[in-house]
Amino acid sequence: MSSETKQILTTDGIPLEVSLKKAEKKNKIKAFLLVAPLLFFLIITYVFPIGDMLFRSVDDKMVTQMLPKTFKAMENWDGQELPEEEVFAAFHEDFIKLVEDKREGKLSTQLNYTKNGFKSIIKKLRRASKKFEEGNYKEQIMSVHKRWADVEYWRAIQRRAPEFTGQKYLKGMDMYVNEEGKIVSVEEDRRIHRVLWLRTLEIAFFVTVFCFLMAYPIAHLLATLPMKYSNLLMICVLLPFWTSLLVRTASWMILLQQQGIVNDFFVGIGLVADDNRPEMMYNKTGSYVAMTQILLPFMVLPLYSVMKTISPSLMRAGKSLGGTPFVAFWKVYFPLTIPGIGAGCLLVFILAIGYYITPALVGGASGTLISNQIAFHMKSTLDWSFASAMGLMLLSGVLVIYWLYNKIVGIDNIKLG
């Protein structure tokens, strides 16, 4: 901190900084030991899994290791015509080894990701390879199925040669590397991820807006009510935390379904016809309603903690100086709550962007988010590297938002409580 160039010595002649470090050393070690358990916990449960995820999303060693000789032989192949006998022989050799280890199924799955149609021709090749004779493997393999004589399929194999690949990321953006090595978008009717990304952003944005609009008055009331009422209100705000997320979502299902309480009420007061009940669940509406309710406390609490610190005399001062109640609110009160608004919005938006259970249960087809897609690949297709890639894209999206927030509002301006 000090800008002085002259070194300051203690009375014993030791430089002050050295002396200070020595004096502080014990405390520093103590402090470190106190945080060490958390640090190790974080490394094991957070840093390590994220690192693994990052690695998994670009890792493509599997095919590289299954077909080592093939890829070595392919190094001299320009990819224009069908490869030479040398490549076919190497491929045969690798393939026989895989069949012995019963791993050719995995190869077919992997190659099928790159190009459709590998599954059946690899099955055929396995059966036929038992009767293969020595020599001239090119002819023999090509005779198994006409696709083996198609240069496209060999190019597809060659594309799997590198140990690392970014293709999962491209797939997450509905893009792929075509035969010419160019990055292109998939056909319009097969694009699913871009829609999901946009929908995730849209739902997260609107949930944040709804949460803000509802939480601001609640937080203000909490901060200004006398203690005995504000405690009760605080309990009401926190009550959802005491119930399982699943139960809360399930209760929204009871409320929002077509024969549910809300619809019954609308029919009862004659707002909608009995045979024309609106669908409020298994679509975006369901996601909006349930997520807003569930994430509301995350907006209320930071706002409340900021509003609590704003002296009521400021609003009074604003009014006594001649500002109408609105002017006093807008010019005096509102600017002072911005740190809480920032914290709440950032928190809700980030939570909403990765929300999973609620949209899975009440979102239906049009209300699911990218996290549901990630879960789908984790559990159903078992394409973990793709799931990891999308998870990381989500993470980097959040980091970008955080960065933008820091640029625009400033992260020092945040106040969580």
Partner 1 sequence: MSVNKEFVKFDKVDKSYDGKVLVVKDLQLDIAEGEFITMLGPSGSGKTTCLMMLAGFETPTNGEIYLDGNAISSIPPHKRGIGMVFQNYALFPHMTVYENLAFPLRVRKIPKDEADKKIDKALSMVSLQGFASRMPGQLSGGQQQRVAVARSLVFDPQLVLMDEPLGALDKNLRESMQYEIKHIHESIGVTVVYVTHDQSEALTMSNRIAVFNDGKVQQLSSPDELYEKPVNSFVAEFIGENNTFTGEVSEISGQKCKVKLSNAEIMANPISVKSKGERTKVSLRPERALINPKDKMDNIHNGKIEEVIYHGDHTRVRINLLGNPEFILKVPNSSANLDIKLGNEIKIGWNSEDARALDPK
Q: What is the DSSP string of 74-111?
A: HTT--SSSPPPHHHHHHHHHHHHHHHHTT-HHHHHHHH
- Between CA 80 and CA 179 the distance in angstroms is 11
Q: Calculate Rg over the CA atoms of the chain.
A: 31
- Among the listed ranges 42-50, 71-79, 291-299, 308-316, the one in contact with partner 1 (CB under 8 A) is 308-316
- Binding segment toward partner 1, per CB under 8 A, in 214-222, 226-234, 269-277, 320-328: 320-328
Of 36 and 314, the one with the shorter C-beta distance to partner 1 is 314
Query: In the structure encoding, which two tokens stand for residue 146, read together?
Result: 């006409």
331 binds partner 1 per the rule CB under 8 A: yes
Of the listed pieces 92-100, 133-141, 253-261, 312-320, which binds partner 1 according to CB under 8 A? Answer: 312-320
Residue 308 contacts partner 1 per CB under 8 A: no
**Shortest Å distance, C-beta 338 to partner 1:** 9
From the list 79, 166, 278, 323, which residue makes contact with partner 1 (rule: CB under 8 A)? 323
Helix (H) or strand (E) holding 377: helix 370-379
Residues 297, 241 contacting (CB under 8 angstroms): yes
Complex with partner 1: residue 166 or 323, whichever CB lies closer: 323
Residue 209 C-beta: closest distance to partner 1, Å: 24
Nearer to partner 1, 306 or 362 (CB): 306
Is 227 a binder of partner 1 (CB under 8 A)?
Answer: no
Sign of CA dihedral 300, 306, 309, 312: negative
Cβ atoms of residues 306 and 225 within 8 Å: no
Residue 325 near partner 1 by CB under 8 A = yes
- The least CB distance from residue 298 to partner 1, in Å, is 25
68 binds partner 1 (CB under 8 A): no
Residue 330 near partner 1 by CB under 8 A: no
- Using the rule CB under 8 A, is 73 a contact of partner 1? no
* Closest CB to partner 1 among residues 217, 312: 312
Site string for partner 1, 268-307 (x = CB under 8 A): ----------------------------------------
Asked whether the CA dihedral 257, 258, 261, 262 is positive or negative, the reply is positive
Nearer to partner 1, 185 or 324 (CB): 324
Residue 318 within binding range of partner 1, rule CB under 8 A: yes
| Between 320 and 381, CB nearer to partner 1 | 320
Contact 117, 93 (CB under 8 A): no
Residue ranges in 225-278 assigned as alpha helix (H) = 227-238, 245-256, 261-268
Q: Which residues contact 339 (CB under 8 A, 6 or more apart)?
A: 306, 413, 414, 415
For residue 380, give Cα distances in angstroms to 118, 368, 376.
20, 16, 5
DSSP code for 412: G
Per-state percent for the chain, helix, strand, coil, to nearest 5: 70, 0, 25
Member of 13, 181, 226, 335 binding partner 1 (CB under 8 A): 335
Please name the helix (run of DSSP H) or strand (run of DSSP E) that holds residue 286, with its range, or none: helix 284-307
Q: Does 332 bind partner 1 (CB under 8 A)?
A: yes
Q: How far is the CB of 332 from partner 1 (least distance, A)?
A: 6
Q: Which residues bind partner 1 (CB under 8 A)?
A: 311, 313-314, 316-325, 327-328, 331-332, 335-336
